[in-house]
Structure formats: C-alpha cells, structure tokens
Amino acid sequence: MGDSKALPRRKFLQAGAALLYATSMPGVVQAAPALHTPKNLRALRNSLHGRLILPGEMGYAMAAAPNNARYADILPRAVAMCADAHDVQLCLRWAADHREKFAVRSGGHNYAGFSTTTGLLIDVKAMNKVWYDLDKNRGYILAGASNQNMADAFSGTNFAIPSGRCPTVGASGLVLGGGWGFSATHAGLTCDSLVRTEIVLANGQQVSADAQGPHRDLFWALRGGGGGNFGINTAFSFDLHEVKDDVTIFNIVWPGEKQIELLTLLQEIQSRYATQISTRTKAYPDAPGAFPRREQLQVTTLGQFFGPLDKALEALAPALKLVKPIKQDIRQMRYWQARDYLITDDPNGMYDLRSSYVAEALPPQALETMLSYMMKWPGGSLLPENMGILFAIGGKVREVATDATAYVHRNANYIFEMECAWAPIDKPDVMRRQQAWLTEYFEAMQPYMLPQSYVNFPSRELPNWARAYYGSNLERLKRVKRQYDPANLFSFAQSIPNV
C-alpha cells in the first residue's frame, strides 16, 4: 500500500457515484465543517461515515504515525479513518478530482514507508471486524483487521487462518504480499487460503474477485502482488484450517561456539521435517557494541512443531546434543497458546532491512560470510538481534506452482532477512555507518541467494526490485495492472508498472 499520484478528473462507473458528495445522503450524519477545514476538504469531511482528521486535531499524531519511525516526518494533509467501503470510494474520488497524492494504510507496517504520504492518508484500520461460519468453513475479515484481531476472534475455536506473527500487522498487507507466519510450512501462506476479496477499483467500482468469476485474473494478482497496486481491498474471505491438535513450541539459544555446524544442522532438521516444523533461526551477538567477537555470536531457533513433545524432542535432538544450550524452552501446548508464545512486535522504531530467498539451504561458506559481517557490525545503542534471520517458508508453500498465484517464490525454503536499527540517542553518523554495512552485507550474500525478495519486506534500496519481488510473474502482473488501473492511479515508488 503506497503513496499514489492523483490524476485528472474521471467519471466513476459505479451507479450512483454522482451522489458521493451529496450532503443529504440517507443515513449519513452530517458534521458541521470545522472553521479551519480547508474548503476542498469540507465536502469529504461531511460525507464520510468515519472521520477526517486534520493536523492539530485530537488523534492526528497517532493516526499519522507509521510503524517505521524513519518516515514519521512525512505528515499527511489529512487522515481519513474509513468506516466502510463507501468511505473508501469517497476518498478515491476526492483524490482523483483534486489531483491529490494519497496512500492506503491498514496496519501501517510498510517497512519502506509506502503507507504514508504528504497527501491524503486513507486508513482502513477502523474496518476491523472478524467473523466466521464454521458450517461453511469460512472466515471473514474486513480490511483493517490485524493479526491480533484474527487471533482474538478464532482463539475460542479449533480453526484458524494461517497468518503472521506480529500482532499489530494488518492482515490486508499480509495476505496481499503472500503471508509468512509460523504455520506457513504446515498450512501454506495466508494468500493460499484466500477464496474471495472485495476491492474498490481505480474507477470507483467495488467488485468481488475470486478464482472462478469475471475478475479471476485480478484475484490471481492479489495473491502475492502486493498491497496498493490494483485498488483498495475492503474485505476478505478465507478457507479455515483445523487446529485442534496440540503443537510443541521451542525457543533455544546456544552459546557462541560451533555456529556453522549448528546452523547447518538446524537447516537439515527443517528440511527433514519440512511440513511438520516451522523455524526462525538466526545468529546475533550477546551484547550491543561494535565489532563483536566470534565467541559472542549466539545461535538461536524459535518455532513450533506440529506434533507432541516427544516427537519434537526427537526432531531437535541432533542440535541439542551438538552444543549444550544456554536456554531451552520446549513445551507442548494448544495451538492458540503457541501463537501467543510466538508473537513479536519487531521491527519497531527506526530501522532498515533487506531480504532475499534461499533455494535449499545456506552452505557453510555462506554461513561463514554471514558471521564475518556480523563481526563487522559498526555499532549503535541497540542490540542488533536481527542481523541475519532464516524464516522457514518451504514445506506446504512449495507444493503450489510458481504461476498459480502472483506469489512467485515457491522454489525457496527460506526468506533470509537482515536489519539495522538505531535509536534517537544514536548520532546521524551511526545510522550512516549501519546502512553502509547493510548494503555491503546484502551484496556479499547475493552469490548464495536466489535473485528474489519478499514484497512484504520492501526496501527502497533494493536493485531491480520489480523482478526481485515478482520474478517470472511480473509481465502478467503488468497486464492485470493495465486492465484494472490503466491511468496508473495507484502509483508509488515501487508500485507495479503498467508499461
């Protein structure tokens, strides 16, 4: 979801669109325009079912702030807190009519800052209803629902939608980019469970897209084609997955010894139990500070095993025997308990990152390169916990063809992600050194990576970003873009091109 350029006036195709700005629309409570409301925003403010928030008004600072504080100084002219699809349509027409830039936001976690703008911020966060119909095996969410909203709705049941780890991430961005989580290797990506979505198009129409209907090409594109490229999604319907069986969580930390052997072994375990286990494995220093020594680089793995404790211990035994852990938490629990155990809110604050994909596993020479760059960390006030992470994304995800959905990365076992982060106390030179380190580190790892990157981990510095995000599916995505957004209304720094 990103910052889009406004275009000349256009006629909406949806019946009744001419009434969008009528101040006497049935059922709309009219608010008297504030004295300071700019004239060209008054009609929009009066017609919204939700709320238009201007700078200086209560709630503006909170509504305007993105997750990545690097972009917190990009302040919207106004924030439209949409209550429903009607509000989304109003905002799109206003932006087009007034040639105003806009961005679309659900959770606000776009790492590259594409969900903020100096124009109109169209925020669907208030549209966060989640419900289900177990007889139909269907789960339904509105576009503002977060991972936590979904968990709250389903935690009393034996059913789930495979979703992400961070509770505040918007489900819209998650599913539109693919959707990694700790259930992916076992149940597939979030987008693999999607069966229908409602979307407001550039021409103002709201349509339903699914795999059989007239908008099946659009539905294909929306499963991995990224948010904010084709329209504004307002609702989603998913197949549910049964989760009544217990799982086993594990959180293990090893001291800074035999790192290459441990990391190799943990990848072998993931491969051996490809659909039963899901891991996030990494190395990181045991304390903040520049240029950590080799013996400071701990190895850790966090995840869940879809099975009982004894089977999980059997799977993890080789790694537990190789080096004695300094922390070992391995427990059997219900699925929803495990979900709560595994959640995290990172990254947060000010950060930058890169991501690639690993086809099978990182060989020893790649792991040696990774560790050598960790020892080159230039320093900062924060503990660099996410210097090199392997997110397991094989298993069930690989059982789907690369062209079955827009998510093309079906030929990989891992997302490899690296980050740098800094705090307000850090001087600008600290940030510059960290970003230079990140760029050099990313380039050094490329010989061991697929030329691919996860669109939900976007980077403004990523070379050849369109090919990296979409690979062999890029040309088809361009065709869908031309069909549904011919004038390129939804345009930002890394939006899918229509040429």
pLDDT 10s digits, 234-274: 999 999 999 988 999 999 999 999 999 999 999 999 999 99
> Tens digits of per-residue pLDDT, 480-493?
999 999 999 999 99
Question: How much of the chain, in percent, has pLDDT values that exceed 90?
Answer: 90
Question: How much of the chain, in percent, has pLDDT values that exceed 70?
Answer: 93
- CATH 3.30.465.10 residue spans of the chain: 130-243
- 390/358 Cα distance (integer angstroms): 9
Whether residue 16 is predicted with pLDDT greater than 60 in this model: the reply is no
What is the identity of the amino acid at 495?
S
- 129/370 Cα distance (integer angstroms): 43
pTM as predicted: 0.92
- CATH 3.40.462.20 residue spans of the chain: 247-467
Query: Are 227 and 124 within 8 A, CB to CB?
Result: no
Beta bridge partners of 248: 305, 332
Q: What's the CATH architecture for 3-123?
A: 2-Layer Sandwich (3.30)
Whether residue 385 is predicted with pLDDT greater than 50 in this model: the reply is yes
Which carries the bigger pLDDT value, residue 20 or residue 161? Answer: 161
Question: Parallel, antiparallel, or unpaired: how do β-strands 120-123 and 102-105 relate?
Answer: parallel
- For residue 1, the model assigns a pLDDT of 56
Query: Are 403 and 472 within 8 A, CB to CB?
Result: yes
> Tens digits of per-residue pLDDT, 415-472?
999 999 999 999 999 999 999 999 999 999 999 999 999 999 999 999 999 999 999 9
Whether residue 29 is predicted with pLDDT greater than 70 in this model: the reply is no
- 403/317 Cα distance (integer angstroms): 37
User: Mean pLDDT over residues 33-55, rounded?
Assistant: 86
- 231/227 Cα distance (integer angstroms): 8
Whether residue 5 is predicted with pLDDT greater than 70 in this model: the reply is no
> Tens digits of per-residue pLDDT, 98-155?
999 999 999 999 999 999 999 999 999 999 999 999 999 999 999 999 999 999 999 9
CATH class belonging to 247-467? alpha beta
User: Mean pLDDT over residues 67-74, rounded?
Assistant: 95
Beta bridge partners of 464: none
Beta bridge partners of 350: 422
Q: Which fold has domain 130-243?
A: 3.30.465
C-alpha dihedral (34, 35, 41, 44), degrees to nearest 10: 30
User: Mean pLDDT over residues 344-370, rounded?
Assistant: 95
Q: Is 287 helix (H, G, I), strand (E, B) or coil?
A: coil
